[in-house]
Amino acid sequence: MTDIIDRSADLSQPLDRLGPDERLKYDSDYLRGTIDTGLLDRISGGVRFEENKLMKFHGIYQQDDRDIRDERRRQKLEPAYTFMVRVRMPGGVCTPEQWLKIDELARLYGGDTLRLTTRQTFQFHWVLKEDIRPTIQGLHEVLLDTVAACGDDSRGVMSTADPDDSALHAEVAALAKSLSDHVIPKTGAYHEIWYGKERVATSEDEEPFYGRTYMPRKFKIGFVIPPSNDIDVYTQDLGLIVVSGPDGIEGFNVAIGGGMGRSDQDPATYPRLADVIGYVPKDRLVATADAVMSVQRDYGNRVDRSRARFKYTIDDKGLDFIKAEIERRLGAPLEPARPFEFTSNGDVVGWRENADGSFNLTLFILSGRVSNRPGKTMMDGLRDIAKVHRGKFRLTPNQNLIVADIPAGERPRIEAILAAHGIGEDGASALRRNAIACVALPTCPLAMAEAERYLPDFATKVEAILAENGLIEEPITMRISGCPNGCSRPYVAEIALTGRAPGKYTLWLGGGFHGERLNRPVLDNAGEAAILATLAETLGNYARERSPGEHFGDFLHRSGFFEAGPDSAAGDAVLVRAEAPTRA
């Protein structure tokens, strides 16, 4: 079978036929490169190009404050370089002790702010070069690291944040942790560079699985516990849909090849929903992960990075071939997928009682930004909670926070702290509570437009439209990304904006309410006025013509909005893919 498969761009080729990043990884001596000397250089607050690329594998990104980039250039100063440090936190589970340390580090080195991400972890921003080591060593004190939080490797492993069955959650979260530990790079570079450990001379291969060139691109794994699809399993490279019985996990439906990233310039890039290819019993989990990842490792495109994600490998080689290759490496065919059903990809904000009588509190945190503002000292409040809380914290894929396993008796104390710090739902609409915005400006180097900083304003304007149409309590998924990369998983949202230029966005409509269907571009390069006009019109129709319980995205499809083509107000729309596929 392999003979008909094109191998011209993968690992089978000599290094000099592959892209420059492959050479860089190969020559990096397992991710060491010159990072340690780069950290000492005082002439620049940044690091060299190669060092930056390698540091990503260590969970660190060089950035600069884009708000003042031009101002600094005129001042003959280099860009205001700082670093984003992303924690590895499988399943988003965090102990109060860890929270307190993270809070402390953020106040010391991270510009007094923390960012909860769409993959359930923390990001520090504004970290100065000389503060990276102290930050990472601080995390080490509470048994946290930043290994492979970025880079061409397996990223942070997600898992559903708040299933009704908390025992099941514990079991899945534990699996997420052990699987993450299994799939991360094994090089000693991290310990040497950040903890100052001596390099141990070793003859055996430092990376038994990855080898010297690691993955062709990032690789993302997530566990989901139906009926919640909070992690958007169809956007994962490898999605594991938990199938459970009376005594916990039995196995997983395996979904492969999801991904959001696209670029406006390049039509050969597109979002893709994962395909469910079968079922594996629990004990085959690690073998399955190895098999899937190794197929991508060996067949993934290493010539063109824009086509290097697993989703393109699958479309290039064919799903059948990839599935067969996975089964070959597993040594057995996959069982047929078991039935499952999703109802939503959002969070349920507020108090919820667990089976054991304890409570989970899901706090709405607008685009995951934790900081202190006048009247709303969230950072201080959460620190106070961490001081008294004896359960766990859970970060949700919607950038919200769950204070989990609160004994009933503790509830008043927690509520008092929240009140004291002005933390609450502050009447946020259903739309706002589950809205996601990526970080974008000023730190993200790839941002083309605002996202996090624009969401509050934009949401207010959309809420006005919802209010007019009596839809204020209607759950509608809305996501904003500052560029087409789609860190807010916009392409599965019912309403999405992706940045094109300052103040200009592509408007996407019609995604599936529980992440089962891609949305479609309706306006391109549009300003706020045009966007709001289109929303007013479509939401107006929705309010008037929807059938009971019908979601906004579904309505647009049923009502023939897309078949009719975008209306006049919509201007010229571009289609991402001929047909937006649907998953049950």
Does the active-site annotation cover 438?
yes
- For tokens 């990276």, name the residue: 132
As measured in angstroms, the least distance from the Cβ of 444 to other proteins is 20
What tokens appear for 407 in the block? 């004994």
Closer Cβ to other proteins, 4 or 40, answer by number: 40
Q: Cα–Cα distance between 494 and 44 in angstroms, integer? A: 44
Of 89 and 487, which has the nearer Cβ to ligand SF4?
487
444 carries an active-site annotation: yes
Among 155, 317, 383, 514, binds ligand SRM (CB under 6 A): 155
Q: Give least dist CB 34 to other proteins, A.
A: 16
Cβ 493 to ligand SRM shortest distance, Å: 12
Q: Which CB sits closer to other proteins, 74 or 544?
A: 74
**Using CA atoms, how far apart are residues 367 and 398, in angstroms rounded to an integer?**
8
Q: Would you list the DSSP string of 375-407?
A: TEEHHHHHHHHHHH--SEEEE-TTS-EEEEEE-
Contacts of 224 (CB under 8 A, 6+ apart): 158, 159, 160, 230, 231, 233, 239, 240, 241, 242, 342
Q: Which of 88, 129, 218, 317 is catalytic?
A: 218
Distances from the Cα of 577 to the Cα of 272, 317, 343, 523, angstroms? 9, 19, 25, 15
Find the part of the chain contacting ligand SRM (CB under 6 A) among 148-156, 181-189, 281-289, 520-528: 148-156
For residue 42, the partner it binds in other proteins, ligand SRM, ligand SF4, none, with Cβ less than 5 to 8 A by kind, is other proteins
Beta carbon nearer to ligand SF4, 142 or 446:
446
Q: Which is nearer to ligand SRM, 268 or 416 (CB)?
A: 268
Catalytic one among 56, 86, 115, 517?
86
Partner whose binding site includes residue 86, from other proteins, ligand SRM, ligand SF4, none (CB under 5 to 8 Å by kind): ligand SRM
Binder among 61, 234, 321, 542 for ligand SRM (CB under 6 A): 61
Give contact residues for ligand SF4 (rule: CB under 6 A).
Answer: 438-440, 444, 446-447, 451, 481-483, 485-487
By CB under 6 A, which span of 112-120, 356-364, 531-539, 575-583 interacts with ligand SRM? 112-120
Nearest to 156 by CA among 228, 248, 94, 244: 94
Smallest separation (angstroms) from ligand SF4 to the CB of 260: 9
Tokens 């000389």 belong to which residue? 130
What CA–CA distance (Å, rounded) separates 313 from 296?
Answer: 7
CA–CA distance, 249 with 469 (Å, rounded to integer) = 43
Q: Give min distance, CB of 437 to ligand SF4, in A.
A: 8
Question: Are 398 and 119 in contact, with CB atoms under 8 Å apart?
Answer: no
Question: How near is the Cβ of 109 to other proteins at its closest, in Å?
Answer: 9
For residue 483, indicate whether it is catalytic.
Answer: yes
Tell me, yes or no, if 220 is annotated catalytic: yes
On whether the CB atoms of residues 254 and 189 are closer than 8 A, the answer is no
Query: Is 86 assigned a catalytic role?
Result: yes
Is 307 part of the annotated catalytic residue set? no
How far is residue 229's CA from residue 239's CA, in Å, rounded to a whole number?
11
Determine if 500 is a binding residue for ligand SRM (CB under 6 A). no
Q: Which chain residues interact with other proteins by CB under 8 A?
A: 42-45, 68, 71-78, 80, 128, 130-131
Q: What phi and psi, each to the nearest 5 degrees, are found at residue 132?
A: -65, -50
- Tokens for 377, please give them: 């000292």
In which residue are the tokens 């949202």 written? 493
Q: Does 394 bind ligand SRM (CB under 6 A)?
A: no
Footprint on residues 440-499 left by ligand SRM (CB under 6 A): 443-446, 485-487, 489
For 15, the token pair is: 């290094």
Q: Active-site residue 150, yes or no? A: no
Asked if residue 239 binds ligand SRM (CB under 6 A), the reply is: no
With CB under 5 to 8 Å by kind, the binding choice for 481 among ligand SRM, ligand SF4, other proteins, none is: ligand SF4
123 binds, among ligand SF4, ligand SRM, other proteins, none (CB under 5 to 8 A by kind): ligand SRM
Closest CB to ligand SRM among residues 511, 566: 511
Distances, alpha carbon 568 to alpha carbons 466, 558, 565, 571, 576, in Å: 22, 20, 9, 6, 20
The H or E element spanning position 341 is none
Provide, rounded to whole angstroms, the least separation between the CB of residue 112 and other proteins.
Answer: 14
Question: Any catalytic annotation for residue 487?
Answer: yes
From the list 28, 118, 288, 296, which residue makes contact with ligand SRM (rule: CB under 6 A)?
Answer: 118
**Of 130 and 320, CB closest to other proteins:** 130
User: Angle, to 10 degrees, between the axis of helix 528-545 and the axis of helix 455-468?
Assistant: 40
- How far from 396 is each of 167, 197, 459, 486, CA to CA, in Å? 17, 34, 20, 17
Torsion sign, CA atoms 337, 339, 342, 348: negative
> Which residues, numbered 359-388, are part of the site for ligand SRM (CB under 6 A)?
368
Min dist CB 368 to ligand SRM, Å, is 6
CB of 439 to ligand SF4, least distance (A): 5
In the set 392, 483, 504, 583, the catalytic residue is 483
Where do we find the tokens 């190969």? 26
Q: Where are the alpha helices (DSSP H) in 434-506?
A: 455-468
* Catalytic sites, residue numbers: 86, 155, 218, 220, 438, 444, 483, 487
